[in-house]
Amino acid sequence: MAEAARFERDGIKRLVLIVDDEHVNRRLLGKIIEKEYDVIYAEDGQEALDLIKKREKTLSMVLLDLIMPKMDGYELLALLHDDPNLSRIPVIVLTSERTAEVKSLQLGAADFIPKPYDMPEVILARVRRSIELAEDNSIISATENDTLTGLYTKDFFFQHARRHDQYYPEAEMDALVLNVNRFHLINELHGRLFGDSVITCIAGQLNRILDSNDGIACRCDADTFYMYISHQENYEAMMNQIVTALIELLGHQRISLRMGVYQHSDKKTDIEERFDRANLACNSLRSSYKTSFTIYDDVMHERELYSEKLIGDMDTGVEQRQFKVYFQPKYNIKGDTPVLASAEALIRWDHPEYGLVGPGSFVPLFEKNGLVQKLDHYVWKEAAAQIKRWKDKYGVTIPISVNVSRIDIYDPDLEKKLLDIVHSNGLEPNEYLLEITESAYTDNSEQIIETVKKLREDGFRVEMDDFGAGYSSLNMLAALPIDALKLDMLFIRKICDDDKDLKMVQLMIDIAGFLKIPVIAEGVETREQYELLKKLGCDLIQGYYFSKPVPEDEFNKLIEESLNNN
């Protein structure tokens, strides 16, 4: 019907089929409606069905007599009613028998035109109104249902879920989120048609589940489904049903699913928030291979409240300087005696309610919510001011390395912001170190390499952080603009016990030597690790062996100790 509406906007009339075995009746009715519509004719039900199938995309209305040879109107109505592609076309029954109305309505008729045709304006009004109603319903249906699966779209799903709560307030309902793991890889490896078959198979299984349970379902995103379903006791059986169907359809191809459930859905909580909780449970399984579903519980709820509290308090924390910058020293170990060379800025949050909060609790949250850039800028300013204070107090420069996150890299004003910070503190860029993780280089190597080149041209020194945790190729590594490699601490922890990790560290140090850049090992905790790294040719060391991250006043003692030793 949407296409018929397009024809009208283009100046083309809608198309109407008149089906009647009497020539006079066909022509008389055609004369009445041809002022507004294009008209085609059929003499019996079979001819009409052939025309309808041929013109199903452009046909806007069928005017149907009931008593005809070969195939009568009732039979044609039943065929149209049972065909999902043809049932959208409205049918007005032509009859002089009032008793035919009930049966015709049951078979899907939209309206009636009584014989004889002695009221042309009434006939036109009925045709016009039936077509308008069908078109409106078609538009609604097009936005209400996902085109691939036939399930509800997300917006209509929530509307129907709210209506269900309104009509059945006592019903025990569960909110369920089902996701296909790594669906983008399925499309890339096997093609979009294969991916579509996975989605339609899952949708078919959800419909089968709903056949025996009260509820509704929708396709929320490309690879995510929502179900609002009467409370279930055995979600493992539900998952097995879906997985079994996928195996039968796809054979040896393994498809991994995960499901999150918010049980006994609290109707005092908005429906979308209930599904947020189910989605949180679902996402908690991203890295899990032990289970395919989990239930939202009090622990998740408390964690969610805690996370939301931290996010909400972030701006106040920055304004009130609740975030405290700690400094962990880096020592040059090339000589006989370790020498304090620089420091890394590490953030802590002195939260008024939770006390001292470590970065693992809030940095990942801020990265997901886009707040990390504001926190980075705060640390950058604090670090530059600290370098300036040490320079004024001790007459030496202790460079501080600060983290530059991925979101910072894409900031077109990054270069200007960093230069403004160092210059406003009377520093030179080479007194300020920038740490960028290896994975950031591999995300969008061309843009990041270009940005880092500009920063190095300005005089900044750049360290690649967490080297060995990502997937840099040797060719790429040779082309990267960096001033130091910082080895991932996971390698360092095992070098004294695992020969493979030891050899990997030796290889990375050799690569850095070939590139003529220093190597920094972080996470060094023992004398044995220190001596082994020194023997391997590591340049700088950072870790608890020398010092944990400390506030300014404690770091001052390390500077004074270093100055006294030299």
In order of 20, 526, 536, the CA distances from 529 in angstroms are: 95, 5, 11
Q: Report whether CATH 3.20.20.450 matches the domain 312-559.
A: yes
Domain boundaries for CATH 3.40.50.2300 within the chain = 2-144
Most confident of 136-150, 369-383, 486-500: 369-383
Q: How big is the CA angle at 44 (ends 41 and 47), to the nearest 5 degrees?
A: 70
Predicted confidence band at 290 (pLDDT cuts at 50, 70, 90)? low
Q: How far apart are CA 23 and CA 18, in angstroms?
A: 11
Predicted confidence band at 457 (pLDDT cuts at 50, 70, 90)? very high
- Residues 493-509 have a mean pLDDT of 83
User: Over the stretch 60-106, which tens digit does the pLDDT of each residue have?
Assistant: 899 988 888 888 888 988 898 888 778 888 999 887 777 777 788 88
Q: How far apart are CA 501 and CA 89, in angstroms?
A: 70
- pLDDT above 80 for 5: no
Q: How far apart are CA 355 and CA 310, in angstroms?
A: 12
- pLDDT above 90 for 455: yes
Domain boundaries for CATH 3.30.70.270 within the chain = 154-296
- pLDDT above 60 for 442: no
Coil, strand or helix at 356: strand
Q: How far apart are CA 400 and CA 434, in angstroms?
A: 8
- The encoded tokens of residue 399 equal 């460079």
CATH placement of domain 154-296 = 3.30.70.270
Residue 533's nearest CA partner among 489, 485, 495 is 495
CATH placement of domain 2-144 = 3.40.50.2300
Residue in this structure with the two tokens 């089902």, named with its chain if needed? 178
264: left (phi over 0), alpha (psi -120 to 50) or beta: left
- The encoded tokens of residue 251 equal 């054979």
Q: How far apart are CA 43 and CA 22, in angstroms?
A: 7
| 531 φ/ψ angles, rounded to the nearest 5 degrees | -65, -35
Q: How far apart are CA 345 and CA 382, in angstroms?
A: 9
Q: How far apart are CA 419 and CA 233, in angstroms?
A: 60
| 495 φ/ψ angles, rounded to the nearest 5 degrees | -65, -25
Reduce the secondary structure of 1-49 to three states and give it as a string: CHHHHHHHHCCCCCEEEEECCCHHHHHHHHHHHCCCCEEEEECCHHHHH
pLDDT the model gives residue 7? 39
- pLDDT above 90 for 254: no
User: Over the stretch 138-184, which tens digit does the pLDDT of each residue have?
Assistant: 666 656 788 888 898 888 899 889 888 888 888 899 999 999 988 87
Contacts of 361 (CB under 8 A, 6+ apart): 310, 349
Contacts of 244 (CB under 8 A, 6+ apart): none
> Which secondary-structure segment (H or E) carries 224?
strand 224-230
DSSP 261-321: EE-S--TTS-HHHHHHHHHHHHHTTTT-SS-SEEE--HHHHHHHHHHHHHHHHHHHHHHTT
| 409 φ/ψ angles, rounded to the nearest 5 degrees | -60, -35
Most confident of 67-76, 109-118, 444-453, 454-463: 454-463
Domain boundaries for CATH 3.20.20.450 within the chain = 312-559
